[in-house]
Amino acid sequence: MVDELIKILNRENIEWEVYWEVGRGSSFKIEKCKLKRAQRKYHSGIGLRIGYHGKQGFSYITGINHDKKTFENFVKRTIKLAKVGEVKFHGFPDKKPIKKVRGIYDKWISNLTFEEAFELGKEISQKEQELRNKFGPEYTFSGRLAFGFAKDGIVNSNGINEEEEGTAMSFSIYIVRKGHRTGTGDYYKGSRQMIDFEKELETGLEKALEEVKLSYEAQKLEPYEGELVLEPHSVASLVGLFLSNLRGDSIYYKRSRFKEVGEEVASEAFTLIDDGTLEGKLGSYSFDGEGNPSQRTILVKNGVLSSFILDETYARLFGMESTGNGVRDFRTPPHIGTSNIVIEGKEEDLEDFEGIVVKKVFGEHTANPISGDFSLTVELGYLVKNGEKIPFKDNMFVGNIFEFVKSIRAVGKKKEELGAFISPRILGFGKIV
């Protein structure tokens, strides 16, 4: 597919990197129990990076099958951008052993026809209509369903030549009840493999309806400060803020709270991992967008900062090795991202915890990642008392992320997957106002 482009590049006295991808996807949108939108999309393209006299040039082209003249102009344009550009070039990775990550490709999803996917979308809308008929007009049901296949590859002048196929599917459900008050509930499931769709749909509807019931009955909680438990959705909101301080670019440009590995940044009960090697997980891959192998990187171990999140550029600037976290598509140069984020630590059984439990929050985009201060709206929480859940919402969960991770006493034994975020409950100290 890109052989002709590589021949042209090899004639030039430059360092080069070609990243290409092809893919397709089907998506369906259900609104008020009716299938409102069905789409089938295709994409393909090539991203080219050139290293020339310490400067970097980048450009891309849509499609992967082009004539020789088009490729020659593509190369000339990118070399010119390197010559006149201001982006420094620090080198491309060398070839390293790549271990294939299992379970990230499903032939069934890859071969799924649009008509077959359409029938699954109709199944969601029909099931939601049945529930609306059962519960009445106070309830509104919506949802989304998507399937995707992609194949990408990376080739560079240092001998890297890798390609990989992957698949994914996801579906989500959103339910609203409007009466004398409002209650909401939702459910999301993403997978690399085709799931038992009927069973997962039943599970999703059941959990979303349970949230609706709690949300509908919820009222504001009296101000509280002390021990509380965060469910995985809330943990994800806070950990995202913490992770931005572990990115190599943030640390290099002093946009991070941290300076070097070995710092004590959390309690001994907290361990944070980035792992792109997990079989069948959404964030898994065999190699990153630069051709470096994926790996399991312990970022924080028992409260101590053990590693940064690095792509090739910032690894070289720090005199370290890449952690395999150069992410991209063909339209962009690589940048630092995460694979699967996993929370571990000192385990306790937190499923029967009695006290304040914060299930979901929102507004994390307003938090300050450097100071760590946050003020998040509680979408849903509950007080567990004598085994009974007393729901609350619309309070503010306030605090500082760096203080919170140092207050963590334990993590639960049962993990939940939220896309590429895998976490148990967390017990720490917090403030509700």
User: Other C-beta atoms within 10 Å of 323: how many?
Assistant: 26
Q: Rounded to 10 degrees, what is the CA torsion of 217, 218, 219, 222?
A: 130
> What confidence score (pLDDT) does residue 363 get?
93
Is residue 101 very low, low, confident or very high in pLDDT (cuts 50, 70, 90)? very high
H helix or E strand, kind and range, residue 264:
none
User: DSSP state, 95?
Assistant: P
> What confidence score (pLDDT) does residue 369 get?
86
The owner of tokens 């990076």 is: 49
pLDDT tens digits along 115-137: 999 999 998 999 889 988 999 99
pLDDT tens digits along 337-395: 999 999 999 999 999 999 999 999 999 888 888 899 999 999 999 999 998 999 999 99
> What confidence score (pLDDT) does residue 143 get?
93
Mean pLDDT of the chain: 96
Q: Give the C-alpha separation, 350 to 255, whole Å.
A: 35
Q: What are phi and psi of 337, to 5 degrees?
A: -145, -175
DSSP-derived secondary structure for 108-175: HHHT--HHHHHHHHHHHHHHHHHHHHHH-TTEEEEEEEEEEEEEEEEEETTS-EEEEEEEEEEEEEEE
Helices (H) and strands (E) counted in the chain, each on its own, are 9, 22
pLDDT tens digits along 263-297: 999 999 999 999 999 999 999 999 999 999 999 99
> What confidence score (pLDDT) does residue 32 get?
84
User: Which whole number is the average pLDDT over 326-334?
Assistant: 97
Q: Is the pLDDT of residue 34 over 90?
A: no
Q: At what angle do helices 114-135 and 197-217 cross, to 10 degrees?
A: 40
> What confidence score (pLDDT) does residue 162 get?
98
User: What percent of the chain lies above the pLDDT cut of 90?
Assistant: 93
Exposure of 97 in the CB half-sphere (CA atoms within 13 A)? 1
Plot region of 215 (φ>0 → left; ψ -120 to 50 → alpha; else → beta): alpha
| CB-based contact 7:157 (threshold 8 Å) | no
Q: Which amino acid is at 56?
A: Q
> What confidence score (pLDDT) does residue 381 get?
98
Q: Is the pLDDT of residue 403 over 80?
A: yes
Strand partners, 18: 48, 155
Residue 269, classed as helix, strand or coil, is: coil
Q: What angle do CA 44, 49, 52 make, to 5 degrees?
A: 160
Q: Is the pLDDT of residue 1 over 90?
A: no
pLDDT tens digits along 44-87: 999 999 999 999 999 999 999 999 999 999 999 999 999 999 99
Helix locations, 351-400, DSSP H: none
> What confidence score (pLDDT) does residue 392 get?
98
Plot region of 158 (φ>0 → left; ψ -120 to 50 → alpha; else → beta): alpha
Is residue 426 very low, low, confident or very high in pLDDT (cuts 50, 70, 90)? very high
User: Which whole number is the average pLDDT over 83-105?
Assistant: 96
pTM for the full predicted model: 0.96
The owner of tokens 């946050």 is: 374
Query: If we measure between CA atoms, which residue out of 295, 284, 273, 276 comes closest to residue 344?
Result: 273
> What confidence score (pLDDT) does residue 39 get?
94
Please give the C-alpha separations between residue 246 and each of 285, 364, 377, in angstroms, as whole numbers: 21, 17, 25
> What confidence score (pLDDT) does residue 104 get?
98
Q: Give the C-alpha separation, 218 to 394, whole Å.
A: 9
Query: If we measure between CA atoms, which residue out of 158, 422, 81, 48 comes closest to residue 271?
Result: 422
Q: Is the pLDDT of residue 97 over 80?
A: yes
pLDDT tens digits along 194-243: 999 889 999 999 999 999 999 999 999 999 999 999 999 999 999 999 99
Burial (CB count <10 Å: 0-12, 13-18, 19+), residue 71: buried
| CB-based contact 200:392 (threshold 8 Å) | no
Tokens of 251: 């640390």
Q: Is the pLDDT of residue 155 over 80?
A: yes
Plot region of 178 (φ>0 → left; ψ -120 to 50 → alpha; else → beta): beta
The domains of the chain are located at 3-217, 224-432
The gap from C-alpha 372 to its chain's centroid, in whole angstroms, comes to 21
**Fold classified for 3-217:** PmbA/TldD fold (3.30.2290)
> What confidence score (pLDDT) does residue 389 get?
95
Query: If we measure between CA atoms, which residue out of 356, 370, 363 comes closest to residue 428?
Result: 356
Is residue 257 very low, low, confident or very high in pLDDT (cuts 50, 70, 90)? very high
Q: Give the C-alpha separation, 423 to 433, whole Å.
A: 25
Q: Give the C-alpha separation, 266 to 247, whole Å.
A: 17
Is residue 33 very low, low, confident or very high in pLDDT (cuts 50, 70, 90)? confident
What is the widest separation between alpha-carbon atoms in the chain?
75
> What confidence score (pLDDT) does residue 412 get?
97
User: Which whole number is the average pLDDT over 173-184?
Assistant: 95
